[in-house]
Amino acid sequence: MISLKDVEHVALLARLELNEEEKEIYTKQLSDILEHARKLQDLDTTGIQPTAHVLPIKNVFREDKAGEHLPVEKVLANAPEKQDHYFKVPKIV
């Protein structure tokens, strides 16, 4: 029920590069899992509100006050590549 083309499209959306073997495996495995999920369609959910989150919490605000923040060196400490005070990435355009 899910095609190789679907898998290629979803992989692109997810920014994953899959080889031919992976594409084939995922086509089969995702189909199996989604087949199992089809039984949800048997349930009538008319008028049922979706639950994204179980707590009755809405917006949580804090006081609008400047707090502490990490120094630049610490922010950059885990960067694969950096220059001066910036993260460095390959050419964009």
Partner 1 sequence: MQLHYLTAHQLHDMLVNGEISSEEITLSVFNRIEQVDERIRAFITLTKDQALQQAKKVDLARLAGDKLPPLAGIPVAVKDNICTKGVRTTCASKILYQFIPPYNATVIERLNREQMVIIGKTNLDEFAMGSSCENSAFFPTSNPWDEKRVPGGSSGGSAAAVASGETVLALGSDTGGSIRLPASFCGVVGMKPTYGAVSRYGLVAYASSLDQIGPFARDVTDCALLLNTICGHDPLDSTSAPFDKTDYRTLLDGDIKGMKIGVPREMMGEGIDAGIREVIERAIDVLSGLGAYIEETTLPHTEYALPVYYLIAPAEASSNLARYDGVAYGYRSEKARDVIDMYMKSRSEGFGPEVKRRIMLGTYALSAGYYDAYYNKALKVRTLIKKDFDQAFKKYDLLLGPVAPCTAFKRGEKIDDPMQMYLVDVCTLSINLAGIPAISVPAGLSGNLPVGLHLMGKPFGEEDILRVAYAFEQNTDHHLKFPSL
Instruction: Establish if 92 lies at the interface with partner 1 (CB under 8 A).
Output: yes
Separation between Cα atoms, residue 23 and residue 26, nearest integer Å: 5
In the list 78, 83, 84, 85, the residue contacting partner 1 (rule: CB under 8 A) is 78
Number of residues that bind partner 1 (CB under 8 A): 50
Q: Which two tokens stand for residue 8?
A: 């290629």
Residue 52's beta-bridge partner residues? none
Vertex 88, ends 83 and 93: CA angle to 5°? 135
By the criterion CB under 8 A, which residues form the site for partner 1?
2, 6-7, 9-11, 13-18, 22, 26, 29-30, 32-34, 36-37, 39-41, 43, 45, 48-55, 57, 60, 62, 70, 74-75, 77-81, 87, 89-92
